[in-house]
């Protein structure tokens, strides 16, 4: 296989470059549930790569849609011009989204989707004569991408510290994890909805509702370690935000497009936010595409704004890119034809749950958790070396031909939605063998 000799010029994202370049893990091709490495080994993709390849790799309809589009209309801008595909994709997304959420603004990534949603919230309040609503509320352990506004609302400490002076105004709810009373829970915990009351009891009195633009949360935290909300928690956030004129944003970059067995997590939980972000699985990871879905109320506020001209002063060169939209069409076709958006509500999700919780009792395991087709096992950290045990477990799983993601001392599982029992057996079998022998 063709492995580049010179690795120096690529400054790799979110990577220990020095470590990687000493011993590179190089993927050269992929099909369905598996990668092939430069050594010719097959590796099971246990994380839909980065929580996005929901249809599996190199699926024919998606490949064909991209190929065909590249030769037909390679690029056209969406700034005061149009081309058909983004309209068609938006109609399909609106058809999948909750009833009152019908308007799609495109970005190229989840990070851009988050910044876009926050800007929509600010501009929305200004149009309503409430320009003092500029503060955002995020949540500890939340991940909202890497742009400056996104890391301001995010609650992963390592992503924020180096940029502290440049963050926008935000405060944070507590996260919902409690290893004391809610470890090894299957799905949503019965207790803990009252954690949402902190918004009304502490944060709103502290900052003043009239100064708060929006609350942003992932329905299920992903990159923070797969934290599943307690029953009723998200509904309570909805009730409180509505009472105080605060917008609620669901960051569905991971949960969107079938991860919980419904098109969006909003439907799984039966809670309608004002704005939802998406990215990743809209194209099954094939071509960068993200966006924000706005409720009718939010969209109409912009469309009814006084005067003529651009209603929302925002947009990316590649918003609604033809290749990305073609990939989205191929992806949505694949999801529809194979019933993938509901698969995580069926028997395979029960088998996944059994697999995740089957790790309980193995050495170092302090929690197992799951919802739909996302889950995690958490290991006790080594004294003085947080994350070391998790990273070693990840490397040993990779050596056994299974890719799962280390998040500190957690291993996260998020397989493509085409996953079958034999893949679950392979994945949890490898993890179990590794954990049994780990220091």
Residues that bind ligand PLP (CB under 6 A): 316-318
Strands ordered across the beta sheet of 402-403 = 27-31, 34-37, 42-45, 402-403
Residues 6+ apart with CB under 8 A from 130: 210, 245
- Residue closer to ligand PXG, measured from CB, 173 or 204: 173
- Residue closer to ligand PXG, measured from CB, 111 or 319: 111
Nearest-approach distance from CB 288 to ligand PLP, in angstroms: 11
H-type helices in 139-272, by residue range?
148-153, 157-160, 197-198, 204-207, 233-243, 265-269
Question: From ligand PLP, ligand PXG, none, which one binds at residue 317 (CB under 5 to 8 Å depending on kind)?
Answer: ligand PLP
Radius of gyration of the chain (CA): 21
Q: How many helices, marked H, and strands, marked E, lie in the chain?
A: 16, 15
Report which residue's Cβ sits closest to ligand PLP: 317
Nearest-approach distance from CB 280 to ligand PXG, in angstroms: 6
How many Å apart are CA 393 and CA 375, to the nearest integer?
16
Residues lying near ligand PXG in the complex (CB under 6 A) are found at 50, 109-111, 114, 143-145, 218, 222-223, 251, 253-254, 279, 290, 405
Question: From ligand PXG, ligand PLP, none, which one binds at residue 357 (CB under 5 to 8 Å depending on kind)?
Answer: none
- Residue closer to ligand PXG, measured from CB, 50 or 63: 50
275-278 and 247-251 strand pairing: parallel
Question: From ligand PXG, ligand PLP, none, which one binds at residue 114 (CB under 5 to 8 Å depending on kind)?
Answer: ligand PXG
Q: Which of 370, 127, 130, 138 is nearest to 237 (CA)?
A: 138
Nearest-approach distance from CB 433 to ligand PXG, in angstroms: 23
- Residue closer to ligand PXG, measured from CB, 204 or 403: 403
Question: From ligand PLP, ligand PXG, none, which one binds at residue 127 (CB under 5 to 8 Å depending on kind)?
Answer: none
For 112, list phi and psi in degrees, rounded to 5: -70, -35
- Residue closer to ligand PLP, measured from CB, 318 or 335: 318
Question: From ligand PXG, ligand PLP, none, which one binds at residue 318 (CB under 5 to 8 Å depending on kind)?
Answer: ligand PLP
Question: From ligand PXG, ligand PLP, none, which one binds at residue 222 (CB under 5 to 8 Å depending on kind)?
Answer: ligand PXG
Distances in Å between the Cα of 218 and the Cα atoms of 193, 233, 320 are 15, 12, 24
For 28, list phi and psi in degrees, rounded to 5: -115, -20
């Amino acid at each position: 296989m063709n492995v580049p000799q010179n690795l120096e010029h690529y400054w790799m994202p979110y990577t220990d470059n020095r470590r990687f370049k000493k011993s590179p893990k190089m993927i050269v091709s992929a099909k369905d549930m598996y990668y092939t490495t430069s050594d010719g080994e097959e590796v099971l993709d246990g994380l839909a790569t980065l929580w996005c390849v929901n249809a599996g790799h190199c699926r024919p309809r998606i490949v064909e849609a991209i190929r065909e589009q590249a030769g037909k209309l390679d690029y056209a801008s969406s700034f005061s011009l149009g081309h058909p595909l983004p309209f068609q994709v938006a109609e399909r997304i609106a058809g999948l989204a909750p009833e009152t959420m019908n308007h799609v603004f495109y970005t190229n990534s989840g990070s851009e989707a988050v910044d876009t949603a926050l800007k929509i919230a600010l501009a929305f309040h200004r149009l309503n004569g409430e320009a003092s609503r500029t503060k955002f509320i995020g949540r500890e352990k939340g991940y909202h991408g890497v742009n400056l506004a996104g890391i301001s609302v995010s609650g992963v400490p390592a992503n924020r510290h180096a940029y502290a002076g440049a963050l926008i105004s935000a405060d944070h709810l507590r996260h919902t994890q409690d290893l004391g009373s809610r470890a090894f829970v299957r799905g949503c915990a019965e207790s803990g909805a009252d954690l949402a009351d902190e918004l009304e009891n502490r944060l709103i009195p502290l900052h003043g509702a009239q100064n708060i633009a929006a609350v942003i949360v992932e329905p299920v935290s992903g990159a923070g370690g797969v934290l599943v909300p307690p029953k009723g928690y998200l509904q309570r956030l909805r009730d409180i935000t509505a009472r105080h004129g605060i917008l609620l944003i669901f960051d569905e970059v991971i949960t969107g497009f079938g991860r919980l067995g419904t098109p969006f997590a909003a439907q799984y939980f039966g809670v309608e936010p004002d704005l939802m972000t998406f990215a990743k699985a809209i194209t099954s990871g094939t071509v960068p595409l993200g966006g924000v879905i706005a409720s009718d109320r939010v969209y109409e506020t912009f469309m009814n704004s006084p005067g003529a001209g651009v209603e929302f002063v925002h947009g990316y060169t590649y918003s609604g890119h033809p290749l990305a939209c073609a990939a989205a069409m191929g992806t949505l076709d694949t999801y529809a034809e194979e019933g993938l958006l509901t698969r995580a509500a069926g028997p395979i999700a029960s088998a996944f749950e059994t697999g995740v919780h089957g790790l309980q009792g193995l050495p170092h395991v302090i929690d197992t958790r799951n919802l739909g087709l996302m889950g995690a096992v958490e290991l006790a950290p080594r004294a003085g070396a947080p994350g070391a045990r998790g990273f070693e477990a990840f490397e040993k799983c990779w050596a056994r031909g299974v890719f799962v993601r280390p998040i500190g001392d957690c291993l996260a599982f998020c397989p493509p939605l085409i996953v079958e029992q034999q893949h679950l057996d392979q994945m949890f079998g490898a993890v179990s063998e590794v954990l049994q022998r780990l220091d």
